[in-house]
Amino acid sequence: MLEVLGLRRVYGSLIAVNGIEFALQPGDIFGFIGSNGAGKTTTIRMLATLLEPTSGTARLNGFDVVKEPMEIKRRIGYMPDFFGLYDDVKVWEYLDFYSTLYEVPVRERPSVIDNVLELTDLTVKKDSFVSTLSRGMQQRLCLAKCLVHDPELLLLDEPASGLDPRARAELKQLIAELGRMGKIVIVSSHILPELADFCNTVGIIERGDLMAFGSVRDVVKTIQAAKVIEVHVIEGAGEGSMFLHGKPFVTNTHMLGSTTFKVEFEGTEQDQAEMLKSLVDAGFQVTEFREESADLEDVFLRVTTGAVQ
């Protein structure tokens, strides 16, 4: 379990991260969303022991980031937003080097290297020089490096930046797989569609403050006070809109066209079903009745102002 407890980092008069708090469980894939300069990388670097918090701390399975950095290092895998690999060695030599640093027993190293190469789909590149790998492959090799010691927490800072759509899709699958393996994965990004697909928890950070945190559904719910339901009828959208206006739980209605209108609604799902029934009973020929759900992008735009530090 990862507990982030009042983590704060100040640079002079600038508050980069302002006492953020959250907790993650094994298997959680946490999408850390924020504009450039919002404080994502600073937070991740503090969790990776690469930056001393001004105050606060974080605990990974009981080990304190500030007081026990060496124990934390043994339990995390960190992939920076920008990184370089030793390009004059072969892929397996690169992984062998890091296996040594992470004190993987000598006998286990060959199988560990084979396993992480298989997981990251780089087996065929085992004997290639790192310099010959494409950007996507280097990204996967960096991830493979993060996995040689079977970490409990993975910190991936903008892992998909600079990747083509195919490499991006492969990376998403890989991260989802890591979550299924029971690892806590923190993925930062400012590209929302990247995260929405595979994260089960999200946090939105702006100017160092964690503006929202929770499961994607919960976070979306918190910003969506009223449901918006789009109704399509064969004819009489205006009458339909008038019909529902003033009904219980309906706060507003809008015409979208001669056959479509929108209803802002605050009731439960049961109330929603009742509303549909009343429409049909009143003789409206309903062809479509669907709730417009907000997505992460809506949430992000709603809770942030776009200001960066």
Partner 1 sequence: MTQSKFKQLFLQNPMFAEVQRAKRSLLSEHNWRGGQLAVRLLIAVFYLFLLVMTMSFVDDIEPFLVMYIMLGLATIVLPSTLHGAIAGEREQRALDMLLVAPVTPGQIVVGKFAKALLTIGLLVVFIGLPAMFIELVHQSSPAYAQYNYGPDSNGFVGYFTSLALVVVTSLMIGAITMWVSSKTKSKAGAMLGTIGALFVLFIVVPSIGGVVNFVYPGVSEALTSTSPFVLLYWAYMGFADNYGYSYGYGYEERAQSAFYVLPTMIAMALLTVLFLVLATRNLQRIALGRTD
Contacts with partner 1, residue ranges (CB under 8 A): 45, 48-52, 70, 73-74, 76, 78, 80, 82-86, 88-90, 93, 96-98, 100-103, 129, 131, 142, 145
Phi then psi dihedrals of residue 223, to 5 deg: -95, -10
Supply the minimum distance, in Å, between the C-beta of residue 83 and partner 1: 5
Determine the Cα–Cα distance for residues 38 and 42; give it in Å rounded to an integer: 9
Residue 31 near residue 189, CB atoms below 8 Å: yes
Smallest gap, in angstroms, from Cβ of residue 170 to partner 1?
Answer: 21
Q: Closest CB to partner 1 among 24 and 104?
A: 104
Three-state helix/strand/coil letters over 256-300: CCCCEEEEEECCCHHHHHHHHHHHHHCCCCEEEEEEECCCHHHHH
CB of 145 to partner 1, least distance (A): 7
Q: How far is the CB of 88 from partner 1 (least distance, A)?
A: 5
Minimal distance, residue 153 CB to partner 1, in Å:
11
Q: Which residue type, as a one-letter code, is found at position 46?
A: M
> Of 66 and 119, which has the nearer Cβ to partner 1?
66
Nearer to partner 1, 97 or 289 (CB): 97
- Between 88 and 266, whose beta carbon lies closer to partner 1? 88
CB of 97 to partner 1, least distance (A): 5
Task: Specify the DSSP element, H or E, that contains 73.
Answer: helix 69-75
Asked whether the beta carbons of 178 and 140 are under 8 A apart, the reply is no
Question: Could you tell me which of 85, 144, 143, 88 has the C-alpha nearest to residue 114?
Answer: 144
Cα 4 from Cα 19, distance rounded (Å):
9
Give 82 or 124: the residue with its C-beta nearer to partner 1: 82
Q: Please, which residue, 101 or 301, has the CB nearer to partner 1?
A: 101
- Classify residue 94 as exposed, middle or buried by CB count within 10 Å of its CB (0-12, 13-18, 19+): buried
